[in-house]
Amino acid sequence: MLTEEQQLIQDMARNFANDILKPKAVEREENHEIEESVRRQLAELGFLGMTIDPEWDGAGADYVSYALALMEVAAGDGAVSTMLSVHNAPFLAILDKFASDAQKEKWMKPAARGEFIGCFALTEAHAGSDASALRTRAVKTDGGYIINGSKQFISSARIGGATILFAVTDPEAGKKGLSAFYARNDIKGFNIAGVEEKMGQMASDTCALQFDDMFLPDENLIGKEGQGYGIALSSLETGRIGIASQSVGMAQAAFDYALAYSKERTSFGKPIFEHQAVQFRLADADTKLEAARQLILHAARMKDAGIPCLREAAMAKLFASEIAEEVCSAAIQTLGGYGYLREYPVEKIYRDVRICQIYEGTSDIQKIIIARQMA
């Protein structure tokens, strides 16, 4: 049921994942870095500006294509799909919606061409899901703002070229006192305070940032003062479609490996796939994967049609991220003891997929959003 263009993009992403990403996924994890050649090839394929209009040097693809591409890339390496997801949304999605034409020309065009990787800095150590509790301050001065504070869990900050960050410009205004800014990662006062050691997705750097008297000119304000909270929330639909897609992609890779293994591994004189217990486990996993995939594509089609899909995107993210862990666990169980070894890929995928229930809004946050839509 895909269009010719959607099928072409999916095939391109699948070939890239199989030929480039999968063979070096373990090496990438051991090196704790996504190599420059991968970033360059993603740019050449148009995947670093997928939904941005060609007028601004993007690929102009629809959101269904974006979801399909993310699934395939995630199947090759979950860490690469995280970098890809954050760069497209929220980073580019925010610039596309809120940046002025002059800002788009200066910032969005090169980002959509893939000349650098974009980052999104909202979370702080004491304020995870509560974006209204930020402490990073932006104080107005002649010609710009002086920013001091810190951010936590910022994807791609070490390899990234620029960051959309959020700071308080009016401490007395609550949510309405938050503003959004664009900052290059190499300017004075923008510091990588540390790179986190994580359970999974080790190739995707996750950093703590420290801003020490960092000056940003007036032209680096995105939108208007006080619009930061709305800007931060604006890309949640696309971001959640992205995380749901990578959840399914990683889980599908684990499932495919377990299915192939079950047809080769023999027990009691026949392939273990012929044992009903194994068949039922794999049938459950396959069904959950298909249900999650359809939730994602439904939300993406609504997005393409210009229909608000906050509820549908939250449902897709919630369901896909939670069943992804279940499917990966079922894959490990199918391999038995071998599934627990790092020699086999399902162990890595299981670690990589766990974060999907946490970032871009935890499962609890998704449930709150869904429940509010019922009121």
Q: Where in the sequence numbering do the catalytic residues fall?
A: 360
* 179-208 residues labelled b (16+ CB within 10 A) or e (exposed): bbbbbebeeeebeeeeeeebebbbbbbbbb
- Chain position carrying tokens 């044992």: 275
Two tokens, residue 263: 């047809």
Burial zone of 305 (CB within 10 Å; 0-12 exposed, 13-18 middle, 19+ buried): exposed
- Classified as helix, coil or strand, 171 is coil
Two tokens, residue 161: 């070229």
Q: Helix axis angle, 63-76 relative to 236-264, nearest 10°?
A: 40
> Beta strands of the chain (E only): which ranges?
118-121, 137-141, 144-155, 162-168, 178-184, 190-195, 206-217, 221-222, 266-267, 270-271
Beta strand 266-267 pairing with 221-222: unpaired
